[in-house]
Amino acid sequence: MSRKGENIFKRQDGRWEARYIRGRDEGGKALYGYCYGKTYREAKEKVAGIRSGQPPQNGGAFPQGQLKFSQLCEDWLVLRQSEVKQSTCVKYEQIVREHILPGLGNRPLQKLTTETVEEFKRSLLEKKKLSPNTVKTILIVLRAILGYGAKRFPGNLDRVEIRYPKVSGSTPRVLSEEEQTRLVRFLLGEAELCRYGILLALLTGMRLGELCALKWENVSLAERTIRVDASLQRLRDLDEDATGKTRLLTGTPKSESSQRVIPLSAEALALCAAMRLQDGSAYVLTGTQEPMEPRTLQYRLKRFTVACGLEGVHFHTLRHTFATRCVEAGFEIKSLSEVMGHSSTKITLDRYVHTSMDLKRANMEKVAMLAS
């Protein structure tokens, strides 16, 4: 804890950290500097000297001693825990623990350079054989940590450059109309809540976690809508005293725009009416008070698709297929973006719209008609 009103804290590593305002940005927001001491008095004297006009030690860039990059990573993770969702925290922690700390953690901050980061990137690509997309994600987190460090110790880390690897665009799997018809017929072949749930995802574009968290109280037959306000995930437990490594967590959807109301088509409405339960607190996929694990639903989908002769189908394939069918049917993009829970139409167009060759040919015919 800090001494009241002084912004002086005792850190987990036993040192004392004193914070002071070193300037303000264009918007008037305070920019903070930091100095360290082995004791509370030492840290207090250092920050008092800075406030009286004395320059910080080591040029104001780094505290005394060889502060390792691992400590900066730990501080950044603690800071982010209060700013982002738990699922995001788990992702950050995994990236830092599995990749950034083994590669860069033992290096002193003073010795972290653009060349060091390039060497780290090559190691991820060539030695660990990670995909360029995965490496880019790791480097994005690294950039955030360096940005945090540059604000704490200006003049050094802000000179470190990060160059992302080239990521080749791959076309996600989208079911053809024939494949979609085959899957729908198979799912309707047996009255089972899980089958109906998968079909509902194909008709609404809902995400895996959103469907697993969906309860009947969120489905309105009268208004012909589904209200998406929760998502279910199995996450690594960050609590050191936890008995298990992971736990099932129901939280808010992926983003603010993901909390939405989806209007039901006639087919989706009929499906919901057929599988409807009176208990509003029951989960749609199970019909009970216990939800279905996302991994279990993925296993079921794989079993179903293999049974009807489809290959390479993942749960997100259903979402891509839904968006593509909507565009082929002339769905207005802004409305489609809101139905899918995207913050912008650009995300919808860039990631989820994959027009078929038949639609391209039909559009080319329209151009030919204009020219005649």
CATH of domain 67-170: 1.10.150.130
pLDDT at 5 over 60: no
pLDDT tens-digit map of 102-133: 999 888 888 889 999 999 999 999 999 999 98
Cα–chain center distance at 258: 12
Report how far residue 153's alpha carbon sits from residue 328's, in angstroms, rounded to the nearest whole number: 53
Which tokens in the block code for residue 127? 């030695």
Q: Which residue ranges does the chain devote to CATH 1.10.443.10? A: 177-364
How would you write 128-146 as a 3-class SS string? CCCCHHHHHHHHHHHHHHH
pLDDT tens-digit map of 162-205: 999 987 766 788 999 999 999 999 999 988 999 999 999 999 99
**Superfamily, domain 177-364:** Intergrase catalytic core (1.10.443.10)
Classified as helix, coil or strand, 335 is helix
Which residues, including other chains, have CB under 8 Å from residue 292's CB and lie 6 or more apart?
194, 212, 283, 285, 286
251, 86 Cβ separation under 8 angstroms: yes
Q: Which residues pair with 36 in a beta bridge?
A: 17
Count of Cβ atoms closer than 10 Å to residue 152 Cβ: 21
52, 73 Cβ separation under 8 angstroms: no
**DSSP-based helix, strand, coil % in the chain, nearest 5:** 50, 15, 35
Question: Average pLDDT for residues 155-162, to the nearest whole number?
Answer: 81
Q: What is the DSSP pairing of strand 219-220 with strand 225-228?
A: antiparallel
Q: Which residue ranges does the chain devote to CATH 1.10.150.130? A: 67-170
pLDDT at 239 over 60: no
Which tokens in the block code for residue 68? 């390792």
Q: From residue 234, how far is each of 138, 207, 211 by CA, in Å?
A: 21, 14, 14
DSSP symbols for 242-289: -SSSEEEEEE--SSGGGSEEEEPPHHHHHHHHHH--S-TTSBTTTSSS
Predicted confidence band at 60 (pLDDT cuts at 50, 70, 90)? very low
pLDDT tens-digit map of 79-97: 777 677 777 888 898 899 9
